[in-house]
Amino acid sequence: MTAAFLLAFRLAVPQDSAVLLVRVLDVTDARIGGDAILITDSSQGRARHVLLDGSDRGGTVTRWLASFGVDTLAAVILSHAHADHYGGLDEVLREIPARAFIYAGTPRTAVTYRALLGQVDALAIPVITVDSGVRMVTIATRGDSFQLQLIAPPPTCRALRSRAGSAINNCSLGVRLVRDSFAMLFPGDAQEEELGWWLDAYRSLLPAPVLKAGHHGSANAMTDAWLDAVRPEAVVISANGRQHPFAEVLELLAVRRTPAYCTADHGTVTVRVPRGGGWAVTTERAGRCRVRRG
């Protein structure tokens, strides 16, 4: 199967369209899971870029950003305080100026996490803390724009401090990207506990044609109830290909006939959204998602 046959959703994309690009970067050298997602607002004029998470391999992420011509980041968003999401951001911030740092404000005593927050402060990067409710950030360039709907984690996360593991996963900042009729949802590493809270509190914000799978394709981050609410037509899984994704997740998506794209098998996965509607998925290489059982 060629990459051309991996294209595919909605309509053909005119070559002269202003395009929103969402690149789920191949960071399969991450020690555990690893997320790094680059959102680029337009192919016309001076593009603006947003980086969501930075894996735990800053060198890999900075090389990707350089290859895409990123010299400034309109915002850096941290989904949650686990090193496979924030560990690479220190190097990214040393190399590339950022105009805003967005996170949920979840406290944690980990030395590397506190060092990152100290670096953000030393660089005088404005901080947006989303620790309650929903906030909207608009990224605009020459009349084009997209919105980031930022969904706070549960209120219990404000006093989390030294706990780790599932507690930190369930304090993920949800990000819903919206451009015209398109939406893509990024739930960080939220597991069933936090997903259930979002289902109760923010169900109307969850539908999205494209879903970035939570927790690298773990079974504890993908349920029938969650998929019923989001109603994705494609799912992208960012994982190192050793521990993730889980068989249960791929089987669940297969039963629903929902296409899955995995960075471990497809390389960087790009969602291309032309102005005026429609979207398409392309992959760096051909393949199919292969099962890992953790």
- Tell me the pLDDT tens digit for each residue of 3-54: 332 333 333 333 434 689 999 999 876 566 689 999 998 755 578 899 999 9
Query: What mean pLDDT do residues 180-184 have?
Result: 93
The CATH number of the domain where 49 resides is what? 3.60.15.10
Q: What percent of the chain has pLDDT over 70?
A: 86
User: Could you tell me which residues are beta bridge partners of residue 41?
Assistant: none
pLDDT for 34 equals: 83
Cα–Cα dist 57/244, whole Å: 17
**Does 262 fall in a domain?**
yes
Look at the block and give the residue holding tokens 């735990």: 56
pLDDT at 278 exceeding the cut of 60: yes
**Does 289 fall in a domain?**
no
Residue 155 backbone dihedrals phi, psi, to 5 degrees? -60, -30
pLDDT for 11 equals: 34
What does the CA dihedral 226, 191, 285, 281 come to, rounded to 10 degrees?
Answer: 30
Residue 51 backbone dihedrals phi, psi, to 5 degrees? -110, 125
pLDDT for 282 equals: 94
**Does 254 fall in a domain?**
yes
Query: What mean pLDDT do residues 216-220 have?
Result: 84
**Does 293 fall in a domain?**
no
**Does 162 fall in a domain?**
no
Cis omega (within 30 of 0) on the bond before 245? yes
Query: What mean pLDDT do residues 134-144 have?
Result: 84
**Does 246 fall in a domain?**
yes
Count CB atoms within 10 A of the CB of residue 174.
Answer: 25
Residue 202's domain spans which residues? 3-10+17-155+168-283
Residue 30 backbone dihedrals phi, psi, to 5 degrees? -60, 145
What is the per-residue pLDDT across 225-260, written as a single tens digit (0 to 9) for each?
999 999 999 999 998 766 668 888 899 999 999 999
Residue 274 backbone dihedrals phi, psi, to 5 degrees? -75, 155
Nearest alpha carbon to residue 52 among 238, 218, 193, 191: 238
3-state SS, the chain, equals CCHHHHCCCCCCCCCCCCEEEEEECCCCCCCCCCCCEEEECCCCCCCCEEEECCCCCHHHHHHHHHHCCCCCECEEECCCCCHHHHCCHHHHHHHCCECCEEECCCCCCCHHHHHHHHHHHHCCCCEEECCCCEEEEEEEECCEEEEEEEECCCHHHHHCCCCCCHHHHCCCCEEEEEECCEEEEECCCCCHHHHHHHHHHHHHHCCCCEEECHHHHCHHHCCHHHHHHHCCCEEEECCCCCCCCCHHHHHHHHHCCCCEEEHHHHCCEEEEEECCCCCEEEECCCCCCCCCCC
**Does 265 fall in a domain?**
yes
- How many domains are contained in the chain? 1
pLDDT at 117 exceeding the cut of 50: yes
Q: Which amino acid, one-letter code, is at 256? A: R
**Does 163 fall in a domain?**
no
* Alpha carbon distances (Å) from 44 to 47, 78, 142: 7, 27, 9
pLDDT for 15 equals: 43
What is the per-residue pLDDT across 52-86, written as a single tens digit (0 to 9) for each?
999 999 999 999 999 999 999 999 999 999 999 99
What is the per-residue pLDDT across 153-176, written as a single tens digit (0 to 9) for each?
999 898 776 666 678 999 999 999
- Of the two residues 156 and 216, the one the predictor is more confident about is 156
Cα–Cα dist 153/131, whole Å: 7
| Per-chain mean pLDDT for the chain | 87
Q: Are 104 and 80 in contact (CB under 8 A)?
A: yes
pLDDT for 129 equals: 97
